[in-house]
Amino acid sequence: MNKKQLKEQLKTRAKDYLKPDRSKKGYICPICSSGTGKHGTGITTKDGVHFTCWRGCFQSADIIDIIGLEYNISDYNDKLIKAAQIFQLDVNKYTDKQNNMQSNIDDKQKKYFKLYFSEVKKLINNTSYHRGLSEQTLDRFNVGYDPEWVHPKAPNAPPSPRLIIPTGDFSYLARDTRSNLTAEQQKYSKSKVGKVQIFNLQAIYNAQKPIFIVEGEIDALSIIDVGGEAIALGSTSNVNLLLSELEQHKPVKPLIIAMDNDTAGGKASAQLIDGLNELDIPFFMLDIASPYKDANEALNADKETFKQKVLGAEQTEKKLLDEKKESLKRQSVLHSLSSFLEDVRIRKNTNAISTGFQSIDNILDGGLYSGLYIVGAISSLGKTTFCLQIAEQIAKNGQDVLIFSLEMAKNELIAKSLSRLTAINSINYFDNTEKAKTTRGILTGDKYEDYSTFDNEIIQKAINDYSEYAQNIYISEGMGDIGIKEIRQKVENFVNITGKAPIILVDYLQILAPADIRATDKQNTDKAVLELKRISRDYNTPVIGISSFNRDNYTAPVNLSSFKESGAIEYSSDVLIGLQYEGMDYQEGETEKNREKRIRELSKNNILLAKQGKTQQIQVKILKNRNGSKGDCTLEFYPMFNYFIDKEYNKRPDYSWAKSESSWGTLPTL
């Protein structure tokens, strides 16, 4: 059984190892034990191979990595062996990468390679073609000479003298030693025998100094000859082969990229840079060959200068280490203390930004501060209306608000605002909503012909009221074309033009344009949440993001796991707010059957109240508050007129003089 076969067999056995959680919809996470609680929610999988923990450690891994995390094993081969032992597979059938490469080499061939390397090594002094390498280096790496070399796969080809450089126990490079080669001979002047391998690969496990990565074996030998350490790709096409090995085994010392000074070397360097950055492996660039093409040419042209450049790599490593230490010092709290005190001084007169709902402000220690606020609710419960009303109540106090509406058009949001204002005026004047207008009633032009004078005047009054603070509201609408980059750019432009940061509202997270079309919905949502968090930090302003709920939570009380793609939302948000119908919480002693019946009736009743233009009782729950208290309060909600009321603190103006419709004629008009 080879490595690939073992991996595939282990991945199909995952469900034999994991235990179902309490909900029976997922599995108990063996790393953090999520899923053992009352409601389950441990780890789940879409394909039966890759698993994600949604509640505790938020790890996303296959069963091999899960076992590695559970048993604190970092080496991938060791993870495979441990997993094979757990599933009682025959570990002895598993061979490592090197043995797997040699699996097609029979005993006769093995004896041939061993004997061949021994014989050609004896002939090394029969040629002066040593490329500037010392006898010690040639001897250490068993470099030999074959005056009549013929490729094993072309026994009828004419022989040629070759320098033989072993690249493994059963592979080697045969380098033509003749000068003035024809174009055809030059084409085959460097021939490989055996399976392609990285030359001197063991250096990544046991090197005592920085490790150069070069293209040719002769270049690696040149660096080693003057006291350095090096590995060779053998060809620029073998970059991925090296990266694959480094993914499994991190090098013990920093790597130095030193490809040939030509186009192919430049492309290989760029590929290595990308790969090493992705693997988070330390490296640096060092040109030791200039003005020559490669390390061996530099060695033969000026060995002493070349030697100083190679040995200078250790000083470069020391310099980089010193720079990292200095950078680390600058990250210490002591270094930041003075800027912290200055920041406190600047903020001493900074007040919380009121949401306009006193009950909510009381829980949030006065209102909104710099940070990421996530608001979630089931569909049609009013989360957009709730956040829009908060945005307008903030704008009414002179604060700019930037709204990114990814689902509703700008005109629809404006109509919602005017609808709410007609409700406010109707309630204030007449203690009822008879004169209030719905969103459709505002948007449908034909209706205006049938409206009475009073109907038109209350709409006009709403427009007048809205125009008093509309200059502080900026709406960007989009459908799949607004992503996190566009949001940051618009915020940056706004700050550059106005000199101040706006409050930011994003409606809603799950339909932001994906940062990476190849990533999963969860990965893109995670990215969006983290970037919104950075924006709030970079511009020292509140960012409000609206989130949908998981379908499974439509009949359950709001909680941290209610939020769709809840991992990053729960972890990264500063404040997490959930909206629900009042009465959704669990009741002591209530059976699940009775609860389901009660919730159905509750939902049905609230839908009926909405259709009748009456108020619903909406519970606002602060589920998480990184820098303050948690709690809940209840608002009255007119869904028909897009209006939330904080009944406990709502104080209406004295409009006793305007209780009769005859007074409406005194209202201002545009």
Mutual angle of helices 76-86 and 3-11, in 10-degree steps: 50
In three state form, how does the secondary structure of 47-93 look?
Answer: CCCEEEECCCCCCEEEHHHHHHHHCCCCCHHHHHHHHHHHCCCCHHH
- Report whether pLDDT(77) > 80: no
Whether residues 387 and 288 share a domain: the answer is no
Q: Which residues partner with 374 through β-bridges?
A: 545, 576
> pLDDT band at residue 343, thresholds of 50, 70 and 90?
low
pLDDT in tens, 369-379: 999 999 999 88
DSSP 8-state code for residue 549: B
* Cα angle 111, 112, 115; round to 5: 85
Question: Can you tell me the distance from the alpha carbon of 433 to that of 163, in angstroms, rounded to the nearest whole number?
Answer: 96
Secondary-structure breakdown of the chain: helix, strand, coil percentages, each rounded to the nearest 5: 45, 15, 35
What's residue 348's pLDDT?
53
The single residue listed with the structure tokens 């502080």 is 472
381 with 495, same domain?
yes
Q: Which pLDDT does position 26 carry in this prediction?
A: 75
Separation CA 15–CA 24 (nearest Å): 13
Structure confidence by residue, pLDDT tens digits, 641-658: 999 999 877 654 444 434
Domain annotation covers residue 342: no
pTM of the predicted protein model: 0.53
Residue 105 has pLDDT above 70, yes or no: no
Mean pLDDT, residues 234-243: 87
pLDDT (mean) for 550-555: 71
Of 325, 347, 369, the one marking the end of a domain is 325
Does residue 514 or residue 552 have the better pLDDT?
514
Same domain for 73 and 194, yes or no, is no
249 and 231 in contact (C-beta within 8 Å)?
Answer: no
* 83/126 same-domain check: no
CATH code, 316? 3.40.1360.10
Residue 5's pLDDT band, with cuts at 50, 70 and 90, is confident
Closest CA to 234 of 189, 180, 192: 192
Q: How confident is the model at residue 466 (pLDDT cuts 50, 70, 90)?
A: very high
Residue 387 lies in a domain: yes
Chain segment 6-22, per-residue pLDDT in tens:
777 777 777 677 777 76
Q: What is the pLDDT of residue 457?
A: 87
Q: Is 443 exposed, middle or buried (0-12, 13-18, 19+ CB in 10 A)?
A: middle
In-domain check, residue 353: no
pLDDT tens by residue, 356-398: 999 999 999 999 999 999 999 988 889 999 999 999 999 999 9
Residue 611 has pLDDT above 60, yes or no: yes
More confident position, 167 or 508? 167
Mean pLDDT, rounded, of the chain = 84
C-alpha 410/C-alpha 417 separation (Å) is: 11
Question: In this structure, is residue 54 part of a structural domain?
Answer: yes
Q: 452 and 304 in one domain?
A: no
Better-scored residue on pLDDT, 15 or 423 = 423
Compute the average pLDDT of residues 437-459: 86
Establish if 332 belongs to a structural domain: no
Give one DSSP letter per residue of 226-272, joined into a string. Answer: TT--EEE-SSGGGHHHHHHHHHHS--SS-EEE---SSHHHHHHHHHH
> Which of 149, 180, 153, 152 has the alpha carbon at shortest distance from 163?
149
Angle between helices 239-248 and 263-279 (to 10 degrees): 20
Angstrom CA distances, 272 to 75, 234, 279, 293, stand at 22, 14, 10, 19
pLDDT for residue 41:
62
Are residues 385 and 446 located together in one domain of the fold?
yes
User: Tokens 């109707």 identify what position?
Assistant: 426
pLDDT at 670: 33
pLDDT recorded at residue 651 = 55
pLDDT at 83: 79
Give me 51's structure tokens.
């698993």
What average pLDDT score do residues 195-200 get? 86
**Predicted confidence band of residue 307 (pLDDT cuts 50, 70, 90):** very high
Average pLDDT over residues 454-472: 91
pLDDT confidence tier of residue 453, bands split at 50, 70 and 90: confident
Q: How many C-alpha atoms does 588 have within 13 Å on its Cβ side?
A: 0
Number of Cβ within 10 Å of residue 170's Cβ equals 20
Total Cβ atoms within 10 A of residue 225: 25
Question: End of a domain among 63, 94, 125?
Answer: 94
Tell me what pLDDT residue 340 has. 66
Q: Reply yes or no: is the peptide bond before residue 291 cis, omega within 30 of 0.
A: yes
Residue 99 makes CB contacts below 8 A (sequence gap 6+) with none
CB contact at 8 A, 658 and 645: no
**pLDDT for 669:** 41
Is residue 293 domain-shared with residue 363, that is, in the same domain?
no
Residue 228 has pLDDT above 70, yes or no: yes
pLDDT-based confidence at residue 199 (cuts at 50, 70, 90): very high
Looking at residue 194, its pLDDT comes to 86
DSSP H or E run through 137? helix 135-140
DSSP-derived letter for residue 20 is B
Tokens encoding 514: 């994906």
Buried b (16+ CB within 10 A) or exposed e, 597-621: eebeebbeebeebbeebebbebbbb
pLDDT at 664 (0 to 100): 47
Higher pLDDT: 564 or 94? It is 564
* Helical axes 3-11 vs 63-70, angle rounded to 10°: 90
Rounded average pLDDT over 628-653: 85
Mean pLDDT over 434-444 rounds to 90
Whether 91 and 84 have beta carbons less than 8 Å apart is answered as yes
Lowest mean pLDDT among 122-136, 202-216, 380-394, 515-529: 515-529
pLDDT for position 56: 61
Among 47-56, 99-108, 519-528, 616-625, the range scoring the smallest mean pLDDT is: 99-108
Predicted pLDDT of residue 333:
72
Q: Which long-range contacts (CB under 8 A, 24 or more apart) does 428-431 make?
A: 428/652, 428/653, 428/655, 429/655, 429/658, 429/659, 430/659
Task: Look at residue 496 and tell me if it is in a domain.
Answer: yes
Q: What percent of the chain stands above pLDDT 70?
A: 84
Task: Return the CATH number at 613.
Answer: 3.40.50.300
C-alpha–C-alpha distance, residues 77 and 3, integer Å: 9
Residue 401 pLDDT grade (very low, low, confident, very high; cuts 50, 70, 90): very high
Asked whether residue 100 is assigned to any structural domain, the reply reads no
Same domain (yes/no): 413, 302: no
Average pLDDT over residues 127-143: 95
Is residue 641 within 8 Å of 389, Cβ to Cβ? no
Give the mean model confidence (pLDDT) for residues 281-294: 90
Compute and round to an integer the Cα radius of gyration of the chain.
36
DSSP H or E stretch at residue 172: strand 171-176
d(CA 301, CA 178): 19
Domain limits for position 74: 3-94
Residue 222: per-residue pLDDT: 96
Where is 652: in which H helix or E strand? none
On whether both 572 and 607 belong to a single domain, the answer is yes
Confidence of residue 404 (pLDDT cuts 50, 70, 90): very high
Over residues 188-206, the mean pLDDT reads 88
Q: How far apart are CA 445 and CA 451, in angstroms?
A: 11
Find out whether 494 and 502 touch, Cβ atoms under 8 Å: yes
Q: Are residues 285 and 384 both part of a single domain?
A: no
pLDDT band for position 487 (50/70/90)?
very high
Return the C-alpha torsion angle 430, 433, 434, 438, nearest 10.
140
Overall domain count for the chain? 3
CA within 13 Å, CB half, 657:
5
> Tokens 């204030």 sit at which residue?
428
**DSSP H/E element including 581:** strand 575-581
Q: Are residues 87 and 222 in the same domain?
A: no
Q: Where a domain ends, among 277, 303, 325?
A: 325
The pLDDT, as a whole number, for residue 34 is: 67
What is the predicted pLDDT for the residue at 19? Answer: 77
Give the model's pLDDT for residue 667.
45
Write out the two tokens for 556.
């359950």
In angstroms, rounded to a whole number, what is the distance separating the alpha carbons of residues 606 and 575?
27
The enclosing H or E element of 408 equals none
Decide if 330 is inside a domain: no
Average pLDDT on 239-255 reads: 87
At 17, which amino acid appears?
Answer: Y
Looking at the structure, tell me whether residues 115 and 86 fall in a common domain. Answer: no
Q: Between 130 and 665, whose confidence is greater? A: 130
